Amino acid sequence: MRFLTLLSPLSNFAQMISVYFAEIWEFLIFIGRVSGIIIVLAGAIIWFTDANPKRGKGLVFGGIVLSIVVQYFVIYPPAFVVI
């Protein structure tokens, strides 16, 4: 019985760390979504204004790939994210 009371603070600490990881994860997902949108918009502006079409196409493609990767991590989150 003494062993279980000894582990209680450790499990509380682990749960607290898990909650912090979940909050950090949600913030990173938010940053990823916003930056994906900004990169696609900036690339489209550069591409369609003929300022630098090659760079604009690269930015649009990179923003789309970033958005796909972020969406993958939203669908399949790591184990510490408790839904």
What residue numbers bound the domain in which 15 lies? 2-75
43, 62 Cβ separation under 8 angstroms: yes
Amino acid identity of residue 56, one-letter, is G
- Tens of pLDDT, residues 71-81: 999 999 887 65
- 80 in a structural domain: no
Report the mean per-residue pLDDT for the chain: 87
Spatial CA neighbour of 35 closest among 73, 65, 63, 69 = 63
Q: What share of the chain is helix, strand, coil (3-state, %, to 5)?
A: 85, 0, 15
- 82 in a structural domain: no
Q: Tokens 């696609």 — which residue? A: 40
pLDDT at residue 55, as a whole number: 97
With a cut of 50, say whether residue 83 has pLDDT above it: no
- 63 in a structural domain: yes
What is the pLDDT confidence band of residue 1, given thresholds at 50, 70 and 90? very low
pTM to 2 decimals?
A: 0.78
State the total domains in the chain: 1
Classify the C-alpha dihedral 40-59-74-20 as positive or negative.
Answer: negative
- 57 in a structural domain: yes
